[in-house]
A and B are shown apart, each in its own frame.
Chain A
Amino acid sequence: MLPNLPRDEIKDIFRRCLLIRRFEESLIGLHREGGSFGHFHVYIGEEVTGAVAMRMLQPDDKAFTTHRNHGHLLARGADPGRLLAEIMGKATGYNKGKGGTLHALPGELGFLQTSAVVGGVIPLAAGAAYASKQMKKDFVSICLFGDGALEEGAAPETFNIAALWSLPVIFLCENNSLGLGERKSSDYSGSTNAARHLNELVTPYGIPSRVIDGTDAAAVHQAMSEALNRARAGKGPAFIEAQTYRWAGSKPLWPDLLTGITDLTMAWDKGKIPQEHRQWHEKQDPVLRISREILEAGHLSREQILELDSEVRSEIGKGVLFAKESPLPDPQSAFENIFA
């Protein structure tokens, strides 16, 4: 479902989804060409969650993300070129090449830390919320993390404190473990949690929670609205579990375009859907899902969808060029920025 928003806003959400998808596809392509940027994680399959949630934040709101950050950054307005430059270790990257994919941080967009330590950002995000409360500011803090973070001890300590002190923080757990069956030795595991329902982990602390389909734009919008209203009204934290299917291409340790470059015409032409990964193309891919919904609602025509995609791909193409042509950092800059 689409949220009940004007056409322009729906189009903007869609544009952000496409930007993320095309960015990640380009990144995987660059990696296959031999780009050496270390181990990286893509956001394919979770685009709708990030695209809807991040654009609901106010400029002053603080955000904390993880190793799977590209979608969050782009959804909040990060420049694809500077992000890619950072991932490639270039001087023009957001972190001047010091962070890479694991720590990419557009500080000017309200991101305060991108931590690749699982669960690391959970207390940090509550801390920013504490600062808001202490300084009597209006900003809220959003913590983006995966289902694995709930296996870390920092999570329950933070839930307890956030509830005790009524902190304006939103815990947005992106559970991308759906559809993970048997684990192969070369796969990441899914959730390894005794809790049958992850959202129930916050229930004893009195933190309200929602479990939603993370590919359902209306559900993301609704849950985020409730959480933001609650936080801004000083009523304390909220927890959202956005469930998405694990994209086949991120099951191996290195992302691989197993489902191909996304063909948006599959949204209306079932004949184009191959037998392999049929479930993905028909039901699980959030970008195809939102394309279908936008068509059905009459917000955009097929031609307009393809035109928008073409614009996005051109923007990504410029970003790739910028990143490739950007200089590497001066080796001496390794000794800068140790202290403020």
Chain B
Amino acid sequence: MREISYAEAVAEALSEAMENDPRVCLLGSYFFGLSPRRVLMDELKEKFGPSRIQDTPISEIGIAGIGTGAAMAGLRPIVDIATASFIFQAWPQVVNEAANAFYMSGGQTRVPVIFHILHGLRGGGAAQHSHSPQAMLWNAPGLQIMLPTSPADAKGLLRTAIHSDNPTVFVDHSLLFEVKGPVPDGDYRVPFGQGDVKRVGSDVTLVATSYMVQRSLQVAAKLSAEGIQVEVVDPRTLVPLDKETILASVAKTGRVVVVDECHRSCGVAAEISAIIAEEGFSSLKKPIKRVTRADVPVPFSRVLENAIAPTEDKIEAAVRSLVS
């Protein structure tokens, strides 16, 4: 199987979707942020032109609403919010219009829109450009949430989202762009609600999301050399959530660390920990551990950012505390 980067896989999925379906279009074109991979978006713009990839004014609530209304009327827009922190400007349209429309209309209005956000600590983002709003989004019923971590998952999940009749938030991370991996040919899709065991182990379960999966794999590889076998579980989507895969791994190992980039309180790790406590308590040999971003606004200086971040060191320490 050919190996490509995560960013290339995302660009391929976008390109193929726009080729196959004239209803698919992009509102906003900072999919790859300001990273060197932004050339991939330049290529797409060259290929499809401004009628399919529309640059927009700096108007998040306007663009999110226009994407949502367009989806209600039959288009399949991908709204690129780019930096996740900016989705707060679009909040009323995302959580109060798009998320509610199908339910409150009694199943009449379908909203096949995708909101793309780049979340997380990326080095120097400081307080206003580093949010991980996925837990807040998870608290708004009606939104599907996907967080791919590998090139194959990115392409397969994005395809599923594009074909879905529901609003989906594509929670993306710029530190994933250069991750390389095998990507199958053909029109494969990764279904929502199907987690993936990214590494098999028997001693400790690491449940991680988004870029934290990559970090957890590094820790798992390191500890393996010492004879500590860590299993890394990647839910891939939060809504719907594959509880079975998480609980099955916990049942096997009896020890679990949940790693996530949201702030600690009411974060993604908090919810996953609660599910394990409610439904997998009898398998636990030790208390659940969480490694998250601290409940602190994100500071600029790298040493300060690291101090509040879910780093590899902190993940490793949490795993060791469960097997000592």
A interface residues, Cβ below 8 angstroms from B? 62, 64, 93-99, 103, 105, 107, 112-115, 117, 120, 122-132, 134-135, 139, 141, 153-154, 157-158, 160-161, 164-165, 336-340
**Hey, which chain B residues are within 8 Å of A127, CB to CB?**
65-73, 77
Contact A337 B69 (CB under 8 A): no
A125–B69 CA distance with the chains assembled, in angstroms: 6
A164–B105 CA distance with the chains assembled, in angstroms: 31
**Which 4 residue pairs across A and B have the least CB separation, nearest first?**
A127-B69, A123-B65, A157-B62, A124-B69
Contact B57 A131 (CB under 8 A): no
Residue in B25, B54, B103 with the greatest tally of chain A CB atoms within 10 Å: B103
What range describes how many residues of B lie at the interface? 35 or more
**Hey, which chain A residues are within 8 Å of B166, CB to CB?**
339-340
Q: What is the distance, in angstroms, from A329's C-beta to the closest C-beta of chain B?
A: 9
Contact of B106 among A97, A117, A120, A141 (CB under 8 A): A97
**Hey, which chain B residues are within 8 Å of A160, CB to CB?**
57, 59, 62
A91–B29 CA distance with the chains assembled, in angstroms: 44
Contact B97 A157 (CB under 8 A): no
Contact B104 A124 (CB under 8 A): no
Q: What is the distance, in angstroms, from A308's C-beta to the closest C-beta of chain B?
A: 32
**Hey, which chain A residues are within 8 Å of B62, CB to CB?**
123, 126, 154, 157-158, 160-161
**Hey, which chain B residues are within 8 Å of A114, CB to CB?**
105
**Hey, which chain B residues are within 8 Å of A98, CB to CB?**
103-106
Closest B residue to A93 using CB positions: B106
Residue in B67, B70, B72 with the greatest tally of chain A CB atoms within 10 Å: B70
A127–B93 CA distance with the chains assembled, in angstroms: 12
Contact A340 B65 (CB under 8 A): no
Q: A132-B73, A160-B57 are in contact. Are A117 and B102 (CB under 8 A)?
A: no
Which one of B107-115, B126-134, B195-203, B252-260 is at the A interface? B107-115
**Sample of 12 further A-B pairs with CB below 8 A, known A64-B69, A135-B23, A141-B69:** A93-B106, A107-B108, A114-B105, A115-B97, A123-B68, A124-B66, A125-B69, A126-B65, A127-B70, A160-B59, A161-B63, A339-B142
Could you tell me which residues of chain B, from 89 to 125, have a CB within 8 Å of some CB in chain A?
Answer: 92-93, 96-97, 101-110
Could you tell me which residues of chain B, from 150 to 179, have a CB within 8 Å of some CB in chain A?
Answer: 164-166
Could you tell me which residues of chain B, from 205 to 236, have a CB within 8 Å of some CB in chain A?
Answer: none
**Hey, which chain B residues are within 8 Å of A340, CB to CB?**
102, 107, 110, 164-166
**Hey, which chain A residues are within 8 Å of B241, CB to CB?**
none
Q: What is the distance, in angstroms, from B96's C-beta to the closest C-beta of chain A?
A: 5
Closest B residue to A98 using CB positions: B106
21 contacts between A and B (CB under 8 A): A95-B106, A105-B106, A112-B69, A112-B73, A113-B101, A115-B97, A117-B96, A120-B65, A120-B93, A123-B63, A123-B65, A124-B97, A126-B65, A127-B69, A127-B73, A132-B73, A135-B23, A141-B69, A154-B92, A160-B57, A340-B165
Q: A131-B75, A157-B57, A160-B59 are in contact. Are A123 and B66 (CB under 8 A)?
A: yes
Could you tell me which residues of chain B, from 139 to 154, have a CB within 8 Å of some CB in chain A?
Answer: 141-142, 144
Closest B residue to A139 using CB positions: B73
Q: What is the distance, in angstroms, from B168's C-beta to the closest C-beta of chain A?
A: 10
**Hey, which chain A residues are within 8 Å of B144, CB to CB?**
339
Contact A117 B92 (CB under 8 A): yes
Q: What is the distance, in angstroms, from B104's C-beta to the closest C-beta of chain A?
A: 5
Q: Write out, one digit per residue, whether chain B residues 68-86 have a CB within 8 A of any chain A CB (1) or not (0).
A: 1111111101000000000
Q: What is the distance, in angstroms, from A132's C-beta to the closest C-beta of chain B?
A: 7
A204–B105 CA distance with the chains assembled, in angstroms: 35
Closest A residue to B27 using CB positions: A130
Contact of A96 among B25, B63, B106 (CB under 8 A): B106
B56 within 8 A of A: yes
Closest B residue to A96 using CB positions: B106
Contact of A103 among B59, B70, B77, B105 (CB under 8 A): B105
Q: What is the distance, in angstroms, from A335's C-beta to the closest C-beta of chain B?
A: 10
B11 within 8 A of A: no
**Hey, which chain A residues are within 8 Å of B71, CB to CB?**
127, 131
**Hey, which chain B residues are within 8 Å of A126, CB to CB?**
62, 65-66, 69
Closest B residue to A337 using CB positions: B107
Closest A residue to B23 using CB positions: A135
A135–B25 CA distance with the chains assembled, in angstroms: 11
Contact A113 B109 (CB under 8 A): yes
B51 within 8 A of A: yes
Q: What is the distance, in angstroms, from B97's C-beta to the closest C-beta of chain A?
A: 6
Q: What is the distance, in angstroms, from A43's C-beta to the closest C-beta of chain B?
A: 20
A114–B142 CA distance with the chains assembled, in angstroms: 17
B10 within 8 A of A: no
Contact B102 A339 (CB under 8 A): yes
Q: What is the distance, in angstroms, from A283's C-beta to the closest C-beta of chain B?
A: 38
Contact B106 A124 (CB under 8 A): no
**Hey, which chain A residues are within 8 Å of B14, CB to CB?**
none
Q: Write out, one digit per residue, whether chain B residues 11-32 have a CB within 8 A of any chain A CB (1) or not (0).
A: 0000000000011010000000
A124–B167 CA distance with the chains assembled, in angstroms: 14
Contact B61 A123 (CB under 8 A): yes
Contact of B108 among A105, A132, A153, A165 (CB under 8 A): A105
